[in-house]
Chains A and B, each alone.
Chain A
């Protein structure tokens, strides 16, 4: 069984740039959720994709967008980067609609630094 993987591990960008982060879900999982974890904070829910459709969204602006592919891998795109976007971005996969009792399994994260 393959776990959740994310790429890249680290990324440095400047304000105003755009970034794409990638996530491969655990084998057999069809739901991917993205979280932002600022330093010293718990993860904050960005959005979730189930079978290629957005299936819930947290309080993040539209410049945070995503995709899920037929193989259930996913991308997180952030446009017009701001300094406050510097954080660890976590991807989690689960089986089911990502609701209720579903357990989410997390990848190692991508550390984004915005200068």
Chain B
């Protein structure tokens, strides 16, 4: 069965520092991977996705994510954090075999001024 793990409930980063939000996955076949962000009282906003090809995917708002097949990870990164990046971040995986999309529990990112 496919699954997604976001091992950190919360990540604190000082403004201007690089940030990483971790995600690992388990699927039977090859995955499609997604990152979404949720601001308070808002729905999820799409950030980026990995389909195939280059392991480094660039997305919205300066975010990027690195697909690592051997470690089954898809960590979200940003070189320089902004206070406005503070939000809840969700990793999601879709197994190409059965197309179900599974979300992680989310990681709350706090950027400290």
Q: Mark A9-52, 1 if CB is under 8 A from B, else 0.
A: 00000000000000000000000010100001111110000000
Contacts of A40 in B (CB 8 A): 105-106
- A40 to B88 CA separation, bound complex (whole angstroms): 10
Q: Is B69 an interface residue (CB 8 A)?
A: no
CA distance A93 to B96 in the complex (A): 19
Q: Is the interface of A mostly helix, strand, loop or mixed?
A: loop
Q: A19 CA to B51 CA in the complex, in Å?
A: 37
| B102, closest chain A residue (CB) | A45
- CB contact under 8 A between A101 and B32, given known A42-B103, A42-B106: yes
Chain B interface SS verdict (over half): strand
CB distance from B25 to the nearest CB of A (A): 13
In the complex, residue of chain A having the shortest beta-carbon distance to the beta carbon of B9 = A40
CA distance A42 to B99 in the complex (A): 18
Pairwise interchain contact B101-A100, C-beta atoms closer than 8 A: no
Which range holds the interface residue count of chain A? 20 to 34
Residues of A within 8 A of B101 (CB): 33, 45, 104
Contact segment of B12-20, B39-47, B77-85: B39-47
Q: With an 8 A cutoff between CB atoms, is A4 at the interface?
A: yes
- Contact (Cβ within 8 A) A108 B94: no
**Do the beta carbons of A100 and B41 come within 8 Å of each other?**
no
Residues of B within 8 A of A100 (CB): 32, 94, 96, 99
Partner of B34 from the list A4, A33, A58, A103 (CB cut-off 8 Å) is A103
Contacts of A105 in B (CB 8 A): 46
The answer on a CB contact under 8 Å between B34 and A42 is: no
Chain B residue at minimum C-beta to C-beta distance from A44? B103
* A residues near B100, Cβ cutoff 8 Å: 45, 56, 58
Residues of B within 8 A of A108 (CB): 41-43
The 10 A-B pairs of least Cβ separation, nearest first, read A42-B103, A106-B43, A106-B44, A99-B99, A108-B43, A43-B103, A101-B51, A42-B105, A107-B43, A109-B43
Given A103-B34, A104-B101, 7 further pairs, Cβ under 8 A: A4-B43, A42-B103, A43-B44, A101-B49, A103-B49, A106-B46, A108-B42
